[in-house]
Amino acid sequence: MSVDDCIFCKIIKGDIPCFKLYEDEHTLAFMDINPANDGHALIIPKTHANDLLSIEPDSLAAVTMTARKVARAVSGTVKPEGINLMQCNGEAAGQSVFHFHMHVLPRAVGDELKMNWGLTPGDMDAIGKLAERIRSNLEA
């Protein structure tokens, strides 16, 4: 798949909308539109890389720092019992979008989330409102 067909590159370019949480020079964070749990967010590098095996180290470091920032804001907003940072490489590992991304995935005891959860479209209005609340909890 070429970078031109990459859905996350299109989000970075603004060709496809997203519920943006945070953006800096190297990364973009936005809400997952098929949330496995409330507050499910994604962090991506602005430079396209398919996966962990090909991402540049500096880009990976930037994504990780943004993931921490977003996880803290999600934690303060949704108050989950736990958070998984998750990242899939290859179809067999559950990767469905081949632009490196880190999931910030709020967890609850007994939510019975499986590693390869199915994609169920969320309520866009509710996701947008939650994005606003998470943004207001971002620290400098």
Binding mask 42-81 for ligand AMP (x = CB under 6 A): x---------------------------------------
99 is catalytic: no
Measured CA to CA, the distance from residue 47 to residue 3 in angstroms comes to: 10
Q: What Cα–Cα distance (Å) separates residue 59 from each residue in 44, 54, 136?
A: 9, 10, 25
User: Which of 40, 48, 99, 101 is flagged as catalytic?
Assistant: 101
Q: What Cα–Cα distance (Å) separates residue 25 from each residue in 12, 20, 55?
A: 11, 14, 16
- Strand, coil or helix: what is 135? helix
The binder of 99, among ligand AMP, Zn ion, none, by C-beta within 5 to 8 A per type, is Zn ion
> With CB under 5 A as the contact rule, which of the stretches 8-16, 25-33, 59-67, 106-114 interacts with Zn ion?
8-16
Q: Is residue 126 involved in binding ligand AMP (CB under 6 A)?
A: no
Measured CA to CA, the distance from residue 92 to residue 88 in angstroms comes to: 9
Indicate if the alpha-carbon torsion angle 102, 107, 111, 112 is positive or negative: positive
For the segment 94-123, give every residue that binds Zn ion (CB under 5 A).
99
Q: Is residue 96 involved in binding ligand AMP (CB under 6 A)?
A: yes
**Using CB under 6 A as the criterion, which residues of the chain lie in contact with ligand AMP when the complex forms?**
7, 16, 18, 32-34, 42, 88, 94-97, 119
